[in-house]
Structures are given as structure tokens and as C-alpha cells.
Amino acid sequence: MPQFTGLPTGLKIGKRLRYRVSPVAPKMRGRTPRWLWVGAGCGALLALTALSAALAWTNIFDSALASQLALTPTSRSYRDWVEPTVPLNFDIYFFNWTNSEEFPDEKPVLQQLGPYRFREKRKHVNVTWHEHNGTVAYKTQRSWFFDEQNSNGTLQDNITTLNVIAASAVYRSRYWGFLQQKGLSMGLSMFNQKIAVSKLAKELLFEGYADPLLDLAKSLPPSTTGGAPPVDRFGWFYERNNSLETDGYMEVSTGQLAGTLPGQILRWNYEDHLPYYEGECSKLSGSAGEFMPRNLTEDSVLTMFVPDLCRTVNMDYVDSGEIDGLMYHKYAVSQRSFDNSTLSPSNTCFCNGECAWSGVMNVSACRFNSPAFLSLPHFLHGDPQLREAVEGMEPNPEEHSFYFAVEPKLGVPLDVSARFQLNIYMEPSPNVALYQNVPRMLFPIFWVEQKVKIDDNVIAELRYVRAIFDWGGTVCACAALVFAILVTIATCCARKPQYIKSELLASFEKPKDEAELKLNPI
């Protein structure tokens, strides 16, 4: 009988010891799930897309902005452009001549009156689209309504000013012969013309006043009157209220063609150049006023076409600031803009004869050869001799500058003050008694101001758009980084072997009964 030597190694007595635990090699779970690879691929694609958007964000934004600003019959910019809803005020300041009876023995003493404020309503009419060259043609209708409540004065104010009708007649006669000039002198005396006239404010503005010289001019040949159309009354804005001819025919770019901006002047009064000037001065260029160039810098020059000035004006950078959290660059008409070629030789072709003083523009050529000169109010940035010829000029850059404050990236005007002063040129005329002893000077008549400041709702919208531009690239870069991290994690999980612990496998082995243990003790 065999001798019992003990239990086999690894076995224990009792029902609890029915399992045999032995070292088992770890086993692989299986292949990586397909969804993990699909997710990693999508994440990689999103990361690449976000990175590309971050690198090209400026171009993407510019393209989207250009499409929104382009003038089309259905665009938002067209709705805001065709009939602006921004409140417009048109202020007029007259210079009252207080010592006209002592002229020319005493230099003129001028007293500023006003402002006479008018609310302006503006809309573009006769809009015609030219899709073949990406332009739109139109005329502008302006309507003015006197705002007595916000005016400093009434339209019944009596104002003494220079007799512009007589001054224009003498100016046009400067190249006439002796007999013609003597005839004019006799006519001025016969019609009892004086150096100065006193009229009501409403007569000097929109209502106009009658004058016998106007009736005489109707019978004269156009060469004598400078081609001016015959009128029965004279007023600085006579027949301009509700007229379509105030700014004339305009044709501007729509911005739909690649590389073009909306609102850039291409034709004015059916001409593609300025017929009053020669050389560089005859070129028609710049913004027509509603749309500004984008991506402006401190080195940029803002080029504007101003119909009232009959020319293009270059505005220089002067300052930067902030309006309700929105940054702007300010561009203003400077001394160089109105220079008589002393500082800017390129301005020589604007002179058209008389160009003795800096800081003024000779616009007589586009005013039917009348002696009209434009400057900034109170001769700001003008030749000191202009202010010395009269009393009452007090130039102040804060009150008399002509500027545009523009959001530089978007090219949207935030604050605009358009100001200029009308002056009449006069000089002695030996053969015309009324003007024999007058000094050579520019006589200030009035100055106008049109201020426009964007409202709070538009400011808030522009801040939102600017935030998209400033932070859009950063957001896309962060999104690319997040997607890249997720892809990295997913890739690592996909490559790591998945093992099953030996103890866990052992727990799932089929238990052996006592009979099997006896047959297979080990």
C-alpha cells in the first residue's frame, strides 16, 4: 500500500479551495475601436482648419468686410447710404461789417453772428447701376429746414456785408478795355451801387434779393458774365434748397470689383477730370465723402473730393483718440492742403491767377469767374496778412478745423467736422470809381460748419465688429491648440496595448469538481 506523503502542491482542503490559481500570461483585449481613429482624424482636420484660419484671419476678415460694405441694390450699406438717418446740422456764421461807412479809410471791423442752424435731410436720387464697370451714378437732393430753437439769431437779423454783385462785376472787368471799364463805373453809379449792402439773413441765404445789376446781366453776352446763368435774385443758397444740382452728377465705385473700394469718385458732372485746372490738379480722385479707405495708419493721407471746393483735398494725420471705447485716427485739412505752392509746389496749378496768400483756395474758375476764395474759418492756417487786413479774426483749431475722425481698420467715420469760409477777392481798379481806392485783400463773408457724430448704437456695433477682428485670430489659434491636444491624447490611447490582468482571467476559469481533482491532481 502506497504511503501518503501529503497534498499536492497548490491544493487546499475544503470547498473554498476548488480553484487552482497558476501564473497566466497577460492577454491582449483586441484591436483599437474604429471610432477612436475617426475621432482622431476629425480632430486633426479641425486643428488644421483652425490654424489656417488663424494665420489668414486678416485676409478673411477683410474679404467679409468688403462684401458687407460693397454698394449693391440689396446691401445694408446701400440702405444706409441712399438716405442717411444720421442727424445732420448745417450751421452758418455771418460776419457783420460794423464800420462799412468808413471804408476804405479804416480797415473792416467784423462781428461774427450765428450760428444760423438748419437741419439737413439728404438722399441720393436717380440711382443708376453700371455693373459692367462696377460703378453707380446718382444725384444728391439736399433739403434744409431752419432750426430756430437751436440758432443764435433769427432769419430777420439785419446783416451788413460786402456788395458781392458789384464786387463780381468789377472783378470780371479787370481785363476789359478803358472804355468798357468806364461804362461799368457809370453803370454802378447810375444804379446807386455801394461797397456794402445791408440785408436780412433770410435774403442773404435761401430767399435771395433783387438787384438791378442782375437784370442788366441778362442782356449781356455770356463772355461778360463768366457764363453764369441768368437769375432774378441773389442769395448764397438761392434755389439750392431741394435742388438736384447742388452737388451735381456723381459716379462712384461700388466696391464689387476686386481691389476697389466703395464710394471713390470716378466722374463728376459727366467729366472724368476737373476742367477748371491743368496737370495734376485736374485729376479726379478720392472718396466722395460717405466711404473711407480701410487699414489707415499714421502715415496715410486721406484724399477727399469736395464738390463745394471743386477739387480734391488731401488731409494729413494729426492725432489719435478714443470715442466710447473705439479708437480713431484724425485727419485734417492742414496748412499744406490750402497752400499756394510755398510748402506744396504741386498746388501751383490750383492758383488760376491770383494765388498770393497761403491757406486759401481760388475757386473762381468753378464759380463762373466770380472772385471766390475758400479758406478755413477765421483764416486758420492762412497767411498772417489775411488776418491783418481785417479786425475780428480769431482762429482756433478746436473750433475752426476741417477734420475726419475715422476708425482706422474699418474705415468708418466716427466724428466729422466739415468747415470752410467764403471770402471775396477785391483789388483797386483805377477806371472804376467805386473801387479806385480799395485795398488788395480777401474780404470774409461767412463760414459754414457741418458736424456729424455717429450714434451710440452704431458705436456699439462697431466695437463688436472690431472685437471680432482683434480676437478672431487668437480664438482660432486657441481652438487649433485644443484640437491638437485632443488628437494627441486620442493617438496615444490608440497605440497603447490593452492588457487583461492574470488574476481577472483566473477568476473566470471553470471550477473543477472533486472527481476531476482526483483524476488531475496537478
Burial (Cβ within 10 Å: 0-12, 13-18, ≥19) of residue 42: middle
Domain co-membership, 307 together with 221: yes
Contacts for 296 with CB less than 8 Å, ≥ 6 apart: 302, 329, 331, 406, 408, 409, 411
How many separate domains does the chain show? 2
What pLDDT, on the 0 to 100 scale, is given for residue 512? 53
Nearest to 142 by CA among 78, 93, 88, 92: 88
Contacts for 502 with CB less than 8 Å, ≥ 6 apart: 23, 24, 25, 26
Residue 373 near residue 425, CB atoms below 8 Å: yes
Domain co-membership, 403 together with 266: yes
What pLDDT, on the 0 to 100 scale, is given for residue 229? 75
State pLDDT tens for residues 103-152: 999 999 999 999 999 999 999 999 999 989 999 999 999 999 999 999 99
* Least confident piece of the model among 34-43, 171-180, 376-385, 471-480: 34-43
Whether residue 384 is contained in a domain is answered as yes
Work out the widest C-alpha separation in the chain, in whole angstroms: 169
Residue 275 near residue 352, CB atoms below 8 Å: no
Number of residues assigned to the chain: 522
State pLDDT tens for residues 489-504: 777 766 555 544 445 4
Residue 170, pLDDT > 80, answer: yes
* Least confident piece of the model among 91-95, 202-206, 308-312, 466-470: 466-470
Domain co-membership, 55 together with 117: no
Domain co-membership, 480 together with 443: no
What pLDDT, on the 0 to 100 scale, is given for residue 66? 79
Domain co-membership, 513 together with 368: no
CA-to-CA distance for 102 and 466, rounded, in angstroms?
60
Radius of gyration of the chain (CA): 41
Q: Residue 480, CB half-sphere, CA atoms under 13 Å: how many?
A: 14
Three-class SS state of 204: helix
Query: How many Cβ atoms sit within 10 Å of the Cβ of residue 211?
Result: 20
Residue found under cell 440702405: 79
Domain co-membership, 437 together with 504: no
Domain co-membership, 394 together with 486: no
Nearest to 65 by CA among 261, 252, 251: 261
Domain ranges, residue 486:
22-59+473-519
Contacts for 359 with CB less than 8 Å, ≥ 6 apart: 335, 338, 339, 340, 375, 376, 379, 380, 381, 382, 383, 386
The mean pLDDT of 80-88, rounded to a whole number, is: 88
Q: Residue 260, CB half-sphere, CA atoms under 13 Å: how many?
A: 18
State pLDDT tens for residues 221-248: 776 766 677 788 999 999 999 999 888 9
* Least confident piece of the model among 48-62, 76-90, 191-205, 354-368: 48-62
Domain co-membership, 426 together with 315: yes
- H or E stretch covering 422: strand 412-426
Q: Write the CA distances from 405 to 301, 315, 334, integer angstroms.
A: 13, 11, 14
Supply the DSSP string of 245-302, one letter for each residue.
-SS--EEEE-S-STT--TTBEEEETTBSB-TTS-GGGGB--SB-SS---SS--TT-EE
The alpha carbon of residue 275 and the mean position of all alpha carbons in its chain are separated, in whole angstroms, by 26
- Last residue of some domain: 425, 454, 483? 454
Whether residue 465 is contained in a domain is answered as no
Domain co-membership, 233 together with 366: yes
Domain co-membership, 211 together with 348: yes
Q: Write the CA distances from 269 to 29, 31, 65, 274, integer angstroms.
A: 84, 78, 30, 9
CA angle 163, 147, 397 (to 5 degrees): 70
pTM exceeds 0.85: no
Whether residue 466 is contained in a domain is answered as no
Whether residue 42 is contained in a domain is answered as yes
Residue 473 near residue 60, CB atoms below 8 Å: no
Residue 319 near residue 341, CB atoms below 8 Å: no
Domain co-membership, 202 together with 338: yes
Supply the DSSP string of 163-178, one letter for each residue.
-HHHHHHHHHGGGS-H
Fill in the DSSP letter of residue 237.
T
Three-class SS state of 9: coil
Q: Write the CA distances from 422 to 16, 309, 378, 433, integer angstroms.
A: 115, 10, 10, 25
Tell me the CA end-to-end span of the chain in Å, nearest whole number: 22
Nearest to 284 by CA among 259, 262, 306: 306
Mean pLDDT value across the chain = 83
Whether residue 468 is contained in a domain is answered as no
- H or E stretch covering 420: strand 412-426
Whether residue 212 is contained in a domain is answered as yes
Residue 39, pLDDT > 90, answer: no
Nearest to 115 by CA among 76, 149, 153, 65: 153
pLDDT-derived band at 250 (thresholds 50, 70, 90) equals very high
CA-to-CA distance for 31 and 182, rounded, in angstroms?
113
- Give 114 or 334, the one with higher predicted confidence: 114
Residue 406, pLDDT > 50, answer: yes
Helices and strands: H and E segment counts in the chain: 13, 17
Whether residue 124 is contained in a domain is answered as yes
What pLDDT, on the 0 to 100 scale, is given for residue 464? 82
Partnered with residue 479 across adjacent β-strands are: none
State pLDDT tens for residues 16-30: 444 444 454 444 454
pLDDT-derived band at 466 (thresholds 50, 70, 90) equals confident
Domain co-membership, 118 together with 233: yes
Whether residue 17 is contained in a domain is answered as no
Residue 330 near residue 354, CB atoms below 8 Å: no
Supply the DSSP string of 115-133, one letter for each residue.
EEEEEEEEEEEEEEEETTT
